[in-house]
Chain A
């Protein structure tokens, strides 16, 4: 179990793709709604290597969020297996799953999911409380994470006092604060203007360069091309799985974009 609960980014960028940090085989997911049954995932098999940066695309309702929830150990597949660092997730108990969500995986939700009556800093600090790190260290890491996403000057603001992009960045900072090995981001740039979106992608690209494995859901091809690999979902199945070509560097693109205040 030590490998699962150990926090920290594996910075083995050299071994990228060599080892599968995520392995999903023939995963199905049904939602039972009274008489009807929604078949959200219909046999998904995929491997994600350590240090990869995967963009998941697909039309609305194609099962992207369902898949991400399974990857994030929030939900369980109805059938099929999910191996995280070689360990089958369905064999873990609730406490172990909580530890994985806390330290191994950072999750950025489609709808932010910040605690509304809690400041940006406290939202980011939350995972460190459950990781039982000391308060000093938790605060230090939270400040660092907020600085990293460019919110150093908004730490004591409440979510309602922040713009959508800023809230999204708080969510990213919260996902990063326990230094996870994997970042799962469900539409982190949804509803954001293009410059803000690229700014967020810039942060993700830099983290990926440091070895963080990223799986990102987006419906915008403009955003997906920043990833190393693109997967397209359709009707609960993987339709296309392509390595990215002409992968642009967000930092470069930002230089040529007009600056807007958010």
Chain B
């Protein structure tokens, strides 16, 4: 018997009980659709995390003021005033693993343009900040080091700020009022979207660090220093070097807690990536359970079918079917059931994925890998759960099977 004939017999046996076959397939259909939809959602999240890593710059280190904990008590950042501009200069000079550094101070402010106003975060820094963070401009460019030296009133604005203040107007060269001081807009940042930690990276304006310190928050210390290592590999060495330099400068003795912290941003990104991967696995495993339940459904129906068709099996054996022939027939039936279910499930899963993407606005990534895995898995389910009923059919004694009523 060749495959075409076997398939024809299987299709016919399944067509004989259309409703039953359809209900049996439903388990596999739902399982496969769920796996595809869930994996697509998970991979979408993963892709997003990876995009954010790329956007972040892979070798960026963040030096924050304040200890993560001191004497068991969390201080939060910015709780100390010990991080200063000279620390940055020292880091730049003394740490060979470091390529660039930018100081940072922050404030919040109301920004006004014409009749529109907007509350946003202010970052005070130096021009190399944009290079370190790989923040690009849709219009204009960064302010200059000269602007920092003279504490000029120039501003770079984020997309959210631009949208809320300017709408259709071209912001470049316009004057905005930040805490009632006039600032000239010199650049507009590219849209960056939400950070892995969930905040809107476009809701910001960036000013020269000196301007913010002198005219806005009055602080002489820094809130943070953004550092880039010479390479991705060097970022861990850079972390150690920075710690050593700062501990020395801040006169922290051995055994004492730091009054600063150094974070490798790549670690954050990796954490986000790791989390979304776990998320994918979790979703896929939950969905797989329904696939297994579908498989048990197939097994159940195949067992019923074998009992019902005992006489048919007896006749086939009496006229020369071997155990292998009978086993093959029932196994193929189970596989056909699960493969058709798998195919319908793939279609449904693709539909569900695009529905999720369209209605919930989640990032969804349908990978061919998920489809192949679902197809292989459903065939495997057919084989695994079809095997026992098929074996049972093949083991029947021809004469007993013929006598079966």
Q: Identify which of B5, B16, B319 contacts A107 (C-beta below 8 A).
A: B319
Min C-beta distance of A100 to chain B, whole Å:
8
Residues of A within 8 A of B1 (CB): 129-130, 132
With A74-B399, A135-B5 as known contacts, state yes or no: A113 contacts B315, CB within 8 Å.
yes
Query: Is B278's CB within 8 Å of the partner chain A?
Result: no
Min C-beta distance of A171 to chain B, whole Å:
10
A98 touches B320 (CB 8 A): yes
With A117-B16, A132-B1 as known contacts, state yes or no: A98 contacts B317, CB within 8 Å.
yes
Min C-beta distance of B11 to chain A, whole Å:
13
Query: Is B247's CB within 8 Å of the partner chain A?
Result: no
Q: Which residue of B lies closest to A118 (CB)?
A: B12
Query: Is B322's CB within 8 Å of the partner chain A?
Result: yes
Q: Which residue of B lies closest to A129 (CB)?
A: B1
Interface residues of B in 1-39 (CB under 8 A from A): 1-2, 5, 16
A101 touches B319 (CB 8 A): yes
Inter-chain CA distance A101–B321, complex, in Å, is: 9
With A75-B399, A109-B402, A117-B16 as known contacts, state yes or no: A131 contacts B320, CB within 8 Å.
yes
Contact-residue bracket for chain B:
20 to 34
B319 touches A127 (CB 8 A): yes
Interface residues of A in 71-127 (CB under 8 A from B): 72, 74-75, 94-95, 98-99, 101-103, 107, 109, 113-115, 117, 126-127
B312 touches A74 (CB 8 A): no
Interface centre among B318, B320, B322 (most CB of A within 10 A): B320
A126 touches B318 (CB 8 A): no
Min C-beta distance of B333 to chain A, whole Å:
15
Query: Is B126's CB within 8 Å of the partner chain A?
Result: no
Inter-chain CA distance A174–B315, complex, in Å, is: 11
Query: Is B64's CB within 8 Å of the partner chain A?
Result: no
With A115-B312, A117-B16 as known contacts, state yes or no: A74 contacts B5, CB within 8 Å.
no
Residues of B within 8 A of A130 (CB): 1, 316, 319-322, 325
A178 touches B318 (CB 8 A): no
- Encoded as 1 (CB less than 8 Å from any B CB) or 0, chain A from 156 to 185 comes to 000000000000000000100010000000
Q: How many A-B residue pairs have CB under 8 A?
A: 61
Q: Which residue of B lies closest to A94 (CB)?
A: B323
Min C-beta distance of B27 to chain A, whole Å:
26
Min C-beta distance of B328 to chain A, whole Å:
11
B322 touches A113 (CB 8 A): no
Q: Identify which of B5, B312, B322, B402 contacts A95 (C-beta below 8 A).
A: B322
A69 touches B319 (CB 8 A): no
B402 touches A113 (CB 8 A): yes
Inter-chain CA distance A74–B319, complex, in Å, is: 10
B399 touches A178 (CB 8 A): no
Query: Is B398's CB within 8 Å of the partner chain A?
Result: yes
B5 touches A129 (CB 8 A): yes
Residues of B within 8 A of A127 (CB): 319-320
Min C-beta distance of B323 to chain A, whole Å:
6
Q: Which residue of A lies closest to B398 (CB)?
A: A74
Inter-chain CA distance A126–B318, complex, in Å, is: 11
With A113-B315, A130-B1, A132-B1 as known contacts, state yes or no: A69 contacts B320, CB within 8 Å.
no
Residues of B within 8 A of A94 (CB): 322-323
- Encoded as 1 (CB less than 8 Å from any A CB) or 0, chain B from 81 to 116 comes to 000000000000000000000000000000000000
Q: Which residue of A lies closest to B324 (CB)?
A: A95
Residues of B within 8 A of A69 (CB): 399
Inter-chain CA distance A132–B324, complex, in Å, is: 13
Q: Which residue of B lies closest to A74 (CB)?
A: B399
Inter-chain CA distance A109–B322, complex, in Å, is: 19
Inter-chain CA distance A84–B37, complex, in Å, is: 62
Residues of A within 8 A of B311 (CB): 113
Residues of B within 8 A of A131 (CB): 320
Interface centre among B2, B314, B319 (most CB of A within 10 A): B319
Inter-chain CA distance A131–B5, complex, in Å, is: 13
Residues of B within 8 A of A109 (CB): 318, 402
Min C-beta distance of B75 to chain A, whole Å:
80
A-B contact pairs, 30 of them (CB 8 A): A69-B399, A72-B318, A74-B399, A94-B322, A95-B324, A98-B325, A99-B320, A99-B322, A101-B317, A101-B318, A101-B320, A102-B321, A103-B320, A107-B318, A113-B311, A113-B314, A113-B402, A114-B315, A115-B312, A115-B315, A117-B16, A127-B319, A127-B320, A129-B1, A130-B320, A130-B321, A130-B325, A131-B320, A132-B1, A135-B2
Spell out B's residues near A (CB within 8 Å): 1-2, 5, 16, 311-312, 314-325, 398-399, 402
Given contacts A102-B320, A114-B315, A135-B5, 12 further A-B contacts (CB under 8 A): A74-B318, A74-B398, A74-B402, A98-B321, A98-B325, A99-B322, A101-B320, A127-B319, A129-B1, A130-B320, A130-B322, A130-B325
5 cross-chain pairs, A with B, having the tightest CB-CB distances, nearest first = A102-B320, A130-B320, A98-B322, A127-B319, A129-B1
